[in-house]
Amino acid sequence: MSNGPLTGLRVVEFQGIGPGPHVAMLLADLGAEVVRIERPGHQPMNAVVERARNRAAVDLKSEDGQAFVKKALASADVLIEGFRPGVMERLGLGPDVVLEANPRIVYARMTGWGQDGPLAQAAGHDLNYIAITGALDSIGAKGELPIPPQNLVGDFGGGSMYCAFGILAALYERQTSGKGQVVDAAIVDGVTSLMSFFYGQPHSALRTTERGAGLLGGAAHFYRCYECADGKEITVGAIEPQFYAELLARADAPKELAEGQLNPANWDDYTEKLAALFKTKTQAEWTALLEGTDACYAPVVPLDEAKDHPHMKARGLFVERDGRSHTAPAPRFDRTPGVIRDSAQDGEEVVARWAQGS
């Protein structure tokens, strides 16, 4: 059993992909009890993201299925759904119906485009959503097409994290009002919020969102990736002058690089010099020399090797369960830590217990 900070929270999750299941995982890791409504015959797509679920196979269009879901929602604190706008309403499970039956429920709607607007009914994925926010345009090399950042920026950065934040905010407000409400969590909204830093900073050659340019976009020689002698890669992020000075000293870089660090006119030349320097040693050699110092250094670690990095091991960021590496619950709590739990119970049994008030 969990004693996480969300222990006692009852969540009904409707089967979906991407950010919706990730929201439910985050809540479950911190103690929430999640019943997942799935289509009959559904097989889990992702054993890590879909962990800690109590599953119920339900035909939402059947009379029995409707009765079961409404029974579950009558005792739930949170509903998570990621259908296109209008689908839940057509199923007879829209916010008006659900909130009338259970005025305390937080009804979380996770979509890409949002519940309204000219694109609300269009199909789309992470890449499409971040394209109209301005985020994608800045990611990639100068003169080349934008590079999709996996689906981290949209689905999870602007999507599930903002949805989870919205759910917790609504639950906090409920303590005062006694009422639930609808949380419209749209990826385009969340990613736009993530871009606040760039909207708020003055534009210049240093601070620009032009692709492959600026201090943070990959143009600066002191904030980018380099290849090593063994073909592996490293990162340096020595922005502050004192960190930059330490990087140059520890790497035994050419003396002329000490002047004009923040002058973009120097960056191409300085990048070539550092590229040549970093190719003189292997990644392991640079790691031994620079890691753990104020040079702002880290090796580029492949995903399947991340769990073996000493810092990741020391932090316990991966948990082995059933022969699979699971990411550990985050964030951490000193009194009520989260824990990865099995999906040991049948969803119907859990809902029956909820209905009995236990």
268 is catalytic: no
CA distance 246 to 278: 15
Q: How many CB atoms lie within 10 A of CB 147?
A: 12
**Catalytic site residue 155?**
yes
Q: Residue holding tokens 């994290």?
A: 161
Q: How far apart (Å, rounded) are the C-alpha atoms in residues 241 and 262?
A: 9
Residue from 77, 155, 184, 189 carrying the catalytic annotation? 155
Q: Which DSSP state fits 350?
A: H
Non-local (6+) Cβ contacts of 234 within 8 A are 225, 226, 228, 278, 283, 286, 287, 297, 298, 299, 300
Containing H/E element for 182? strand 182-186
Q: Measuring CA to CA, which residue among 194, 185, 20, 23 is closest to residue 115? A: 185
Q: Which of 298, 281, 296 has the alpha carbon at shortest distance from 228? A: 281
Contact 68, 39 (CB under 8 A): no
Residues tagged active-site: 125, 155
